[in-house]
Amino acid sequence: MSLNVSTSSGLQRLTVQLAPLLIVCALVFALPVLLNNDFLLNKVARYLVLGILTVSLGLSWGFGGILNLGQAMSFGLGSYAMAMALKLKTVPVHTGADGLPDFMVWNNVTSLPWFWEPFRSLTFAVAAGMVVPALVAAALGWFMFRGRVTGVYVSIITLATMVVLNLVIIDQQSYTGGFNGITDLAQLEIFGVAFDAYGRATYYLVSGCVMLSLLVAFAFTRSRAGLIVQAIRDHESRVRYFGYDVALYQIFVFALSAAIAGLAGMLYTVVMEFASPTFLGVQLSLSVVVWCAVGGRQSLVGAFLGAVLVAGVQGALSESAAFLETWTLVMGALFVLVVLFLPKGFAGLAQAVWRWIVQRRHVAGQEVTPGVSQTEGST
Amino acid sequence: MDQFIEQIITGLSIGSILLLVAMGLSIIYGSMGIINLAHGEFVMLGAYAAWMFHTYLGLGLLASLVPIFLVVAAFGWVIERYVLSLLNNRPLDTILATWGVGIMLQQAVRLMVGSELRYVQLPPALSDSMDVFGQSVSSYRVFLFVVAMALFAATWLLMNRTTVGMKLRAIIQDRSVAASFGINAKRVYALTFAYGAGLAGLAGALVSPLKSVSPDMGTGYVVDAFMVVVLGGVQSLAGTVASAFVLGELSGAIAFLQNDTVAKAIVLLAIVVLIRFRPEGLFTARVRA
């Protein structure tokens, strides 16, 4: 990870690490040219959003060593923020006086609750969709990491917190839509561009966010803070003895990861046209962990592709129940095998193969400089 | 007063089911450090075994308890031997691996027996009710309480009064020293895991007449069982018992005052706070670190 070997080799390594990321982004942007089917594009956009969510988990788990089993909580918060704003913009057919959402009318709520009020502004909602998850994560992180809670206990606390929020949302039906979630939403409209779930605009919005979050995550892992976070993952007490405030760095990566997950949640509402308590359910949250592990938890591109491909195949097979059930069985087996034999996922495998090829070339060309082995790139 | 006693008894009943499910988990987690997310699936396997023994062999629930224990324990042994023993020193990864195993077990059952609900009959001898402190209580629930306490006693004896238990306690203290004294740690671990799995299977069989049997029935149990183990403290069997009944009474009481959802949320929150301030559990004395 030494950046100051020489400028040219540093730059070269940066290019090598960025290349897969940029190639994947280019493919994502180019897809509508090849795939002229709005229905399928909507599905792909959905998997891309899940990819962003998985990248956010990779950031805290793969790089920070924080196995957050409640990653879907941030996702759900983002999703509800967007849904609340879009609900208040619906054409008032079923709505009550002053645009009161329909489910509130059914539940005999007479005026808009105070925490819904600011969501009349879309700008506020978009900001809240990322800031609220980040703040919640920072508070939870402060609570956990200041008390030096580590390992398994972090997983239990994050999972339990998510379940509590899920229960509260389902229970408070008159304010949250309860079990049904928030449905029947208006279209998102920014600067006069309407984002129809089945339109190209939405697809490109999602693609842009894919690229943005991959780049932000990549920049973070290359930054000083990012390196310290990785050092904490590998040897927490050693970093502490160096005088770093370990908890602060952990809280930061935890909150950053939550903000990206919140962004993914907002996009998910736009693509799916509703928000539901299942978006912060245990099922989704654990699926994200699987995607991340299979793709490669220490590789941003790997985690992204893991989610898109696995969720994509699952979606394609879901037409037939028998296929889907067999697939789930295969998926469980694949997951166990990856955990046992490929702790770095398929991205780790790809990196190993790549290194092997490069080394073979060097040996063949007789230009091996002894002692200089390629350090592994963590793109 | 009557209502109070009724509440206490409801709590005891919830508690004994919690204890049945959590005991196997507690042993596996406490002695091997493995977070076994497939535990719920062992419970499910036990319930299905009860259903199958009844449907295909005509065995009653009580008669099939021993075979059920052995069958599920065999599953546990295989999983420890071929999956978990490869994950030494990677405790976080055992969460993932056992979860994957859980998915496979669940799917395999769904593919083989179908996902419709199955029902197991109450043993005829226990289907009436009896009088406890002036309250009429179903005999089966009293039976569950007795069995839970008996299994706890058996497990305690096994851990503290047998050679295998002594070996296990030696390994927990220091695996390499124990191994250098000729203890086969791998074998003891496999047996421990099998025993924990067997207990889960028994729990599943025993609760099956009270609830319907389905492939995903285990998921709910594993979360509750975890809370019991965390509250009771790792490596403390008595703590598990105490916390099972505390949680049972607590959820019974809150559910009576508020509703089930609120009860669950409050219990979960209490446990989150507890982990932060007392990660060693409520019922463990602080011994040396």
Q: Does the structure show a pLDDT above 60 at B286?
A: no
Number of Cβ within 10 Å of residue A317's Cβ equals 17
User: Which residue would you say has higher pLDDT here, A129 or A186?
Assistant: A129
Q: Does the structure show a pLDDT above 90 at A263?
A: yes
Can you tell me the ipTM of this complex? 0.81
Domain membership of residue B128 as a residue range:
2-230
User: Which residue would you say has higher pLDDT here, A378 or A104?
Assistant: A104
Q: How far is B287 from chain A (nearest CA, A)?
A: 20
Q: Does the structure show a pLDDT above 80 at A365?
A: no
Number of Cβ within 10 Å of residue B42's Cβ equals 34
* Total CB pairs under 8 A between chain A and B: 97
Asked if residue B165 lies in contact with residue B159, where contact means CB atoms within 8 angstroms, the answer is yes
Q: How far apart are CA B110 and CA B113, in angstroms?
A: 6
Contact A67/B at CB under 8 A? yes
- From chain B, pick out residues whose CB is under 8 angstroms from the CB of A167: 261, 264-265, 268
Q: What is the chain A residue with the closest CA to B84?
A: A340
**Which segment, A249-258, A339-348, B241-250, is predicted with the most confidence on average?**
A249-258
Which residues are A189's β-sheet partners? A194
Which residues, at least 6 apart from A363, have a Cβ–Cβ distance to it below 8 Å?
none
Q: Does the structure show a pLDDT above 70 at B139?
A: yes
How far are the Cα atoms of B67, B106, B115 from residue B214, in angstroms, in the given order? 20, 9, 6
Question: Tell me, what's the pLDDT at B194?
Answer: 93
Which residues are A208's β-sheet partners? none
Q: How far is B105 from chain A (nearest CA, A)?
A: 8
* Overall number of domains in chain B: 1
Residue B134 lies in a domain: yes
Mean pLDDT, chain A, rounded, equals 85
User: Which residue would you say has higher pLDDT here, A256 or A39?
Assistant: A256
Residue B194 lies in a domain: yes
Mean pLDDT, chain B, rounded, equals 83
Q: Provide mean pLDDT across the span B116-121.
A: 81
Q: Does the structure show a pLDDT above 90 at B197?
A: yes
- Interface mutation target, options A291, A310, A336, A338, chain B, most CBs of B under 10 Å: A336
What are B3-14's pLDDT values in tens digits?
788 778 878 888
Question: Tell me, what's the pLDDT at A2?
Answer: 45
Q: Does the structure show a pLDDT above 70 at A104?
A: yes
Residue B46 lies in a domain: yes
**Between residues 72 and 131 of chain B, which touch chain A (CB distance below 8 Å)?**
83, 86-87, 90-93, 95-97, 99-104, 107-108, 110-111
**Which segment, A247-256, A269-278, A312-321, B127-136, is predicted with the most confidence on average?**
A247-256
Q: How confident is the model at residue B284 (pLDDT cuts 50, 70, 90)?
A: low
Least reliable range by pLDDT among A116-130, A220-234, A317-331: A317-331
Least reliable range by pLDDT among A321-325, A329-333, B151-155, B218-222: A321-325
Percent of all residues in chain B with a pLDDT value above 90, rounded to a whole number: 16
Question: Tell me, what's the pLDDT at B163?
Answer: 86
Q: Does the structure show a pLDDT above 60 at A6?
A: no
Residue B251 lies in a domain: no
Residue B202 lies in a domain: yes
Q: Does the structure show a pLDDT above 80 at A364?
A: no
Q: Does the structure show a pLDDT above 60 at A114?
A: yes
- From chain B, pick out residues whose CB is under 8 angstroms from the CB of A343: 90, 93
Q: How confident is the model at residue A5 (pLDDT cuts 50, 70, 90)?
A: very low
- The CA-based diameter of chain A, rounded to the nearest angstrom, is 81
Least reliable range by pLDDT among B109-123, B234-248, B275-289: B275-289
Q: Provide mean pLDDT across the span B186-210.
A: 90
* Subunit contact A164:B101, Cβ cutoff 8 A: no
- From chain B, pick out residues whose CB is under 8 angstroms from the CB of A339: 87, 93, 96-97, 100
Q: Does the structure show a pLDDT above 50 at B19?
A: yes
- From chain B, pick out residues whose CB is under 8 angstroms from the CB of A168: 265
Residue B182 lies in a domain: yes
Question: Tell me, what's the pLDDT at B166?
Answer: 86
Question: Tell me, what's the pLDDT at A55?
Answer: 95
Q: How confident is the model at residue A52 (pLDDT cuts 50, 70, 90)?
A: very high
Q: Provide mean pLDDT across the span A291-296.
A: 89
**Between residues 300 and 329 of chain A, which touch chain B (CB distance below 8 Å)?**
325-326, 328-329
Question: Tell me, what's the pLDDT at B283?
Answer: 64
Question: Tell me, what's the pLDDT at B224?
Answer: 81
What are A296-323's pLDDT values in tens digits?
888 899 999 999 988 888 887 777 777 7
- From chain A, pick out residues whose CB is under 8 angstroms from the CB of B92: 67, 151-152, 155
Contact B226/A at CB under 8 A? yes
Residue B8 lies in a domain: yes
Q: What angle do CA A44, A50, A56 make, to 5 degrees?
A: 140
Contact B272/A at CB under 8 A? yes
Residue B183 lies in a domain: yes
User: Which residue would you say has higher pLDDT here, B46 or B87?
Assistant: B46
Asked if residue A247 lies in contact with residue A145, where contact means CB atoms within 8 angstroms, the answer is yes
User: SS3 sequence, chain A?
Assistant: CCCCCCHHHHHHHHHHHHHHHHHHHHHHHHHHHHCCCHHHHHHHHHHHHHHHHHHHHHHHHHHCCCCCCCHHHHHHHHHHHHHHHHHHCCCCCCCCHHHCCHHHHHCCCCCCCCCCHHHHCHHHHHHHHHHHHHHHHHHHHHHHHCCCCCHHHHHHHHHHHHHHHHHHHHHCHHHHCHHHCECCCCCEEECCEEECCCCHHHHHHHHHHHHHHHHHHHHHHHCHHHHHHHHHHHCHHHHHHCCCCHHHHHHHHHHHHHHHHHHHHHHHHHHHCCECHHHHCHHHHHHHHHHHHHHCCCCHHHHHHHHHHHHHHHHHHCCCHHHHHHHHHHHHHHHHHHHHHCCCHHHHHHHHHHHHHHHHHHHHCCCCCCCCCCCCCCC
Contact B275/A at CB under 8 A? yes
Q: Provide mean pLDDT across the span A215-228.
A: 93
